[in-house]
Every structure is written in structure tokens, then in C-alpha cells.
Amino acid sequence: MSDIWYVFRLIWTAQRQALLRGVALGFVVLVMGGLLLGVSGWFITAAAAAGLLGMGAVFDVFSPSAAIRFLALGRTAARYGERMLTHDATLRALETLRLRLLRGLLRLPFNAMARLRGAQAIASLTADIDALDGVPLRLVLPLIAGLGTHVLAVAILWWLVGPALALLSGLGWTLGAALVIWLAARPAAPLARRAEAAMQAMRARIIDLVRSRDTLAAHGRLGAQADSALKAHARFDALRARLDTVERRTGAAVSVLATLMAGGALWLGAAMVQAGQLDAALAALGFFTMLALAETVAPLRRAVADLGRMAVAARRVRRSLDRADAASAGRVALPEYLRVDGITLARPGGAVALVRDLGFELHPRQTLALTGPSGCGKSTVLQTLAGLVPLDAGQIMLGDLSLGDWSEDGLRQHITYLPQRSALMAGSVREALQLARPDASDAELWAVLQAVALADTISPNGGLDMVLGPRGAGMSGGESRRLTLARAVLRRPTLLLLDEPTEGLDDATATQVLAGLRRYLPDAMIVLASHHAREAATADRTITLG
């Protein structure tokens, strides 16, 4: 439950005023509902008693009927306002939480981020945030409004009817509702967790089916993958049906509890009327008020059915936020040089050293080229300089700080790494570039496209609004490479790490691109991994590996 309260505090902090108004209106709805049924019962009983006593002609029917109409209309208006406020506030708070979570995930170390790839991780992130809307809407806010209503009901019943009925209401509803919820939560929590896992498995398999349908069809596995998705769907449906059964039984238990409470109030009220301690109309008010209090417990049955799902989602979200906050904490400085002292590196997951005792120093406005045959460790050196691969021996200093002393935020502010393969998503050229800098103006975007010799290519094809298909479809391999290069340099990093930046380009275009990069980033430190002489020719220094 601590994780659920943690998430609720985040939601409450983000939308405090709206949720306060929402819980106040929820309280008004419940109070008006109780008063509506109580006053109606009192009115009917009092009018009948007046008629039996021959006082019907002088009995005031207008004030109670006006009160009943006011309560009925007011309850409807308050319910509408409560739903509007709480749902709008919750959706806004979850939007804030989703963006905070995604920004935090972007700060994670490379190894941690790599584990988040794939359909399963995407489905999990999406489903976790979706599950958390029930925390305020179906659990916490109804619980607060319900408890407040019971406290008020006990006070009114104590004043109008008597302590006995008030104590019956307070103790009976509190203990009875707690027992019903506890009994329902025991089977519901594990079922909800299993149903959530089944739903995420179903989503992941459907995503894989849609995204890889061509490959699956080519290998004759399309039908098998479809059957796997259908089996996951059937498993989810079966678990959801069992959860629905628990929810229906919880609703039935609440109805039985309401019947027992109303029966107890009726018996106690009748006894007090017979003893001359209470007026029959007030006894009816107590009976109907007790019956109306069932509305305070009924919404919680849905929360009980989803409690396990909400708890798992809250735990994962809290863990992700904690990791992201830890990754973002640290010192940020302006690096004035890069020094590599005697580093030894192995390929990630390997035991054999690729690079031994490598050392160099690089200053602003300098370019270093790493050359050598394929497999000699050029890419591994770049990944290590980017803080993505751990050192086996030696030290890397970025300014006055060791690379390991930098926070993830600090590294990403000053270092940009462009690997050999970079992804483009469907959308416009403008959207592809603004992933690096959302605040970049059109003039800045055209300037960086000019730097990578791509402006003249896209200008006649829609310019910045040129539409790209999935994975950059609509551009050639060389054009896609230059667009990802433009996106990288748009961030204006202090240290730019490029792995085969002009692969797929002819010599003339490659020379133009390399010259444009230096003009665009005159003060940057640039490290190139290359096997092309044209790239090494632009460097101030060359180191051959292998």
C-alpha cells in the first residue's frame, strides 16, 4: 500500500486544488444522497401519521417536498461536477507523471535503458500509467468522501434519533465494510496481478505480430504468432472473468451488509417507538439513512478488484522514478578537455581485451580519428567515452571529473554519441530533428541541414514538412544517415562521438559533410571511428587500433 500512497501523493501534488474540490463534491453527493432518502422516508412516514391522526389538512407538505427536490437536483449537479473535476485532474496528473517517467528513463545508464527495449517493456510502461487512474478515482477519493459521510451521519443520527442508532451506524458500517473488503481483497489481489501480466503478454505478442508480420510470414510463423496472441487473450479473458466474479460477490456482500444494517435500524427504531422514546417519522429517517449509506461503500468494490493491478503498477512506477531521480542527481560542470589514461577495454559481455593501454588527450576545436580494421574496438572505445561501457582498467577524465563521477544528466548535456545504426521514426523532418531540441527554430533546423549537405535535397520535397515513413522510409540510406547526423549535432555537444559518420556517401558529399560539421561546431571536441581515409584526413590526430 505504501507504493499506492506514494503515487497518490504525486497525483495530489500535481492537481491539489482540483482534487480538493472533487473530493468536496463527492462528499456533498454522498451527504445529499443520504439526506434525500432519509428525508423522503421521514416525509412519507410523517404524512401517513398525520393522516391517521386527522391532521393531514394542516400538515406542511411543501417544505419537505421542496427539500427533496433540492436534494435530488443538487445531488445530480454535484455528481456531474465531481466526475468532471476528478477525472480531468487525474488525467492531467497522469500526463505529468507519464512525462516525468519518460524523461527519467531517458536519464538512465545505457545498460539499464537497453533492458527497457522491446514490446514487453513498451506495453508495461503504457499499462502501468493506465492502471494508476484508479488510485484517486476508485480508491482514495471515494474512501475519504465515504469516511467523512459516515462521521456526519453518526453525528446527525446521534442528534435526531439517539446514540444507539448512531453507534450501530458507525460501528456496523465501519467493521462490516472493512470485513467485506478484506475478504474480497484476498482472492482479488493475486488474480489482478495475474490478469495484468496476461494483458501485458497479450499486448506484447500483438505488437510483435503487427510489427514483424512480414518477417513472420516469410518464415512461415505468422499463424503460430497469431495463435500465441489468441491464447494470451483467452488467458486474460479467463482471469478477468474470475475477477468480475469476485467483484459481483463483493457487491452482493455489500448489499447483504446494507440489508442487515437497515434491518438492525428498523428493529431498533421500532423498539424505541414502542417504548415511546422516539417518533415514528424519526425512526423512518434512521432506517432510510442507514440504507442510503450503502452508497459510500459500493464504489470500493471496483477498487478491490483492481487493487492488485494498481499495487503492481505503483511499485514499478515508483522504482522507475527512484532510479531516474538517482541517475539525475550529481554534479554538472563544463568540461574543458578529454584525457584518456591507459584504458583497457573488452567488448560488452566478452572476456578478451580489444584495446590495451590506450591513452590520448583532446581539447576544444580538435578532432581525433580512430582507425583500424573491423572488430579492432573502435566502436567500443566510442561507447566507453560516452559512458555506455565500463572500463576494465585505466581512467577517463572529462574536464576535472572522472567519467564515473558525472551524473547521467551531465554526461548527456555535454556528450552526443552517434552509432553506426540510428533510428528514424515516422513523421516530418522537422519532428525528427526536434527530438534533439524541441525548442529549435526553423532557421536553426535549416542551418543544421545545410551543415550536413541535406538542405538542397529536402527543399523541393516539402522542406521541413517532408513526411518520412517508418524507419525513415522515403529517404535513401545516405540521406537517412545525414538526417540522424544533423539531429545529433543540433544539440551542440561539447564532445561529439561519431561512428562511421559518412558511411554510404560518395567522396564529394562526405568531404562537404565533414567540413560542414566543423563549421557548425567550431569549438567541439570530435572523435571519429572510421576506416575511410577521407575521414581521417580531416582529423588533427589519428590513432590506429588493432
Between CA 213 and CA 432 the distance in angstroms is: 25
Alpha helices in 53-61 (DSSP H): none
Of 322, 349, 381, the last residue of a domain is 322
10 falls within a domain: yes
What's the whole-number mean pLDDT along residues 171-184? Answer: 89
Quick one: 344 and 300 in the same domain?
A: no
pLDDT per position as a tens digit, 525-545 = 999 888 777 877 888 888 888
Same domain, 5 and 94: yes
Same domain, 228 and 353: no
Same domain, 412 and 438: yes
Q: Look at the chain and report how many structural domains it folds into.
A: 2
Tell me, yes or no, whether 253 and 355 share the same domain.
no
Q: Is residue 49 part of a domain?
A: yes
As a 3-state breakdown, the chain gives helix, strand, coil percent values, each rounded to 5, of 70, 10, 20
330 domain-assigned: no
Last residue of a domain, one of 289, 322, 355: 322
The per-residue pLDDT for 347 is: 66
329 inside domain: no
For the segment 432-449, the average pLDDT, to the nearest whole number, is: 86
Question: Which of the four pLDDT bands, split at 50, 70 and 90, describes residue 107?
Answer: low
β-strands 427-428, 367-371 pairing: unpaired
- pLDDT over threshold 60, residue 515: yes
Least confident of 144-158, 371-385, 479-493: 371-385
For residue 332, being part of any structural domain is answered with no
| Residue 331 lies inside a defined structural domain of this protein | no
Lowest mean pLDDT among 348-362, 365-379, 459-473, 475-489: 348-362
Cβ count within 10 A of residue 269 = 25
Out of 254, 289, 322, pick the residue that ends a domain.
322
H helix or E strand, kind and range, residue 297 = helix 294-297
Check whether residue 404 and residue 305 sit in a common domain.
Answer: no
423 and 482, same domain (yes or no): yes
- Top pLDDT among 326 and 237 is at 237
Is the domain of 263 the same as that of 358? no
pLDDT value of position 235: 92
Q: How many helices and strands in the chain, by DSSP H and E?
A: 21, 11
367 and 300 both lie in a single domain: no
C-alpha distances in Å from residue 140, one per residue of 11, 19, 152, 351: 11, 11, 19, 52
Give the H/E segment covering residue 504.
Answer: none
pLDDT at 394: 82
Q: Do 247 and 120 have their domain in common? A: yes
Residue 234 has pLDDT above 90, yes or no: yes
pLDDT in tens, 284-310: 888 888 888 888 888 887 788 777 778
Please check whether residues 55 and 150 belong to one and the same domain: yes
Q: Residue 420 above 90 pLDDT?
A: no
Determine the 3-state secondary structure of 2 from DSSP. helix
Q: Determine the pLDDT at residue 237.
A: 92
- Which parts of 353-476 fold into alpha helices (H)? 378-385, 408-414, 429-434, 442-451, 455-458
Identify which has the larger pLDDT, 194 or 392.
194
Is there a domain that residue 311 lies in? yes
For residues 297 and 419, state if they share a domain: no
Closest by CA to 142, choosing from 274, 217, 254, is 254
Host H or E run for residue 541: strand 541-544
Contact assessment for residue 290 and residue 262, using Cβ atoms and an 8 Å cutoff:
yes
Q: How confident is the model at residue 116 (pLDDT cuts 50, 70, 90)?
A: low
Q: What residues make up the domain containing 524?
A: 338-544
Q: DSSP letter at 331? A: B
Tell whether 411 is covered by a domain: yes
CATH of the domain at 79: 1.20.1560.10
446: domain CATH number is: 3.40.50.300
In the predicted structure, residue 262 carries a pLDDT above the cut 60: yes
Residue 80 has pLDDT above 80, yes or no: yes
Q: Are 544 and 371 in contact (CB under 8 A)?
A: yes
In whole angstroms, give the CA distance from residue 401 to residue 378: 24
C-alpha cell at 263: 434491518
Mean pLDDT, to the nearest integer, of 345-359? 72
How much is the pLDDT for 122? 63
Contact indicator for 205, 228 with CB cutoff of 8 Å: yes
| pLDDT (average), residues 460-471 | 80
Concatenating the DSSP letter of every residue in 121-178 gives HHHHHHHHHHHTTHIIIIIIHHHHHHHHHHHHHHHHHHHHT-HHHHHHHHHHHHHHHH
* Residue 399 backbone class (left: φ over 0; alpha: ψ -120 to 50; beta: rest): left
Task: Calculate the average pLDDT of the chain.
Answer: 82
Q: What is the DSSP letter of 464?
A: G
Task: Please provide the DSSP assignment of 404-423 as one string.
Answer: GGB-HHHHHHHEEEE-SS--
- Confidence category of residue 505, pLDDT binned at 50, 70, 90: confident
